[in-house]
């Protein structure tokens, strides 16, 4: 197994595991019981730590694929990176200072990144593109990774952005729970 295959295996399984967590967490957000509320509350209390680890994993993954494995990022990948990379610095500072006031700004970047990566996933998995790719050789449609029939690099990035959004929803819900007490 090459290092590129190992990286792909680790990130693909991690993405699949994250999708399972997303489904469970959305269920926890929607139902009202003690265990679900405890899970949402825990995520909300640890929003800065969890979101920093999420964006850090996205940064490491994107750099491993482009700089170590040698996959050339396309235009849409760069746009997604524009929404991801600043979050590492912003959340790192917020985590260090224990400042949750950054959340609305990061939330906005995550929503925009999720839109771009969802669109990119849509085009890679067979959907028609609204605009032509300007990268050499149409790299936006080039699929370097396809695991479990749907996990691509843009899907991995979408997963990071979606998990970020859900942690911020949990933080908002947790702050409402705390203010009610």
The answer to whether residue 69 is domain-embedded is yes
Long-range contacts of 66-73 (CB under 8 A, 24+ apart): 68/3, 68/4, 68/7, 69/3, 69/4, 69/7, 70/4, 71/144, 71/153, 72/135, 72/139, 73/139
Return the pLDDT at 87.
96
The answer to whether residue 154 is domain-embedded is yes
**pLDDT tens digits, 88-101:** 999 999 999 999 89
Enter the pTM of the model: 0.89
The answer to whether residue 159 is domain-embedded is yes
Residue 76 tokens read as 């849409």
The 10 Å Cβ neighbour count of residue 59 is: 17
**pLDDT tens digits, 99-151:** 989 998 999 999 999 999 999 888 887 766 666 655 555 566 677 888 898 89
The answer to whether residue 108 is domain-embedded is yes
The answer to whether residue 178 is domain-embedded is no
**Nearest-angstrom CA–CA distance, 61 and 45:** 26
The answer to whether residue 179 is domain-embedded is no
Return the pLDDT at 14.
95
Are 53 and 141 in contact, with CB atoms under 8 Å apart?
no
In Å, how far from its chain's centre is CA 111? Answer: 10
The answer to whether residue 146 is domain-embedded is yes
User: What domain range is 113 assigned to?
Assistant: 3-173
CA-nearest of 66, 164, 68, 71 to 114 is 164
Domain tally, the chain = 1
The answer to whether residue 66 is domain-embedded is yes
**pLDDT tens digits, 59-77:** 999 999 989 988 888 888 8
- Backbone φ and ψ for 134, nearest 5 degrees, come out as -95, 0
Return the pLDDT at 139.
60
């Amino acid at each position: 197994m090459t290092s590129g295959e190992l990286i792909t295996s680790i990130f693909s399984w991690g993405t699949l595991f994250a999708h399972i967590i997303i489904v469970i967490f959305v269920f926890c957000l929607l139902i009202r019981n003690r265990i679900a509320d405890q899970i949402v509350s825990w995520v909300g209390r640890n929003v800065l730590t969890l979101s920093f680890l999420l964006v850090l994993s996205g940064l490491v993954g994107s750099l491993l694929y482009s700089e170590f494995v040698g996959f050339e990022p396309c235009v849409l990948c760069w746009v997604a990176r524009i929404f991801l990379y600043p979050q590492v610095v912003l959340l790192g500072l917020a985590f260090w200072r224990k400042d949750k006031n950054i959340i609305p700004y990061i939330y906005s970047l995550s929503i925009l990144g999720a839109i771009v990566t969802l669109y990119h996933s849509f085009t890679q998995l067979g959907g028609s593109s609204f605009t032509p790719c300007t990268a050499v050789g149409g790299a936006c449609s080039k699929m370097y990774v396809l695991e479990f029939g749907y996990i691509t690099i843009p899907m991995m990035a979408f997963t990071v952005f979606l998990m970020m959004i859900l942690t911020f929803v949990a933080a908002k819900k947790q702050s409402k729970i705390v203010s009610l007490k």
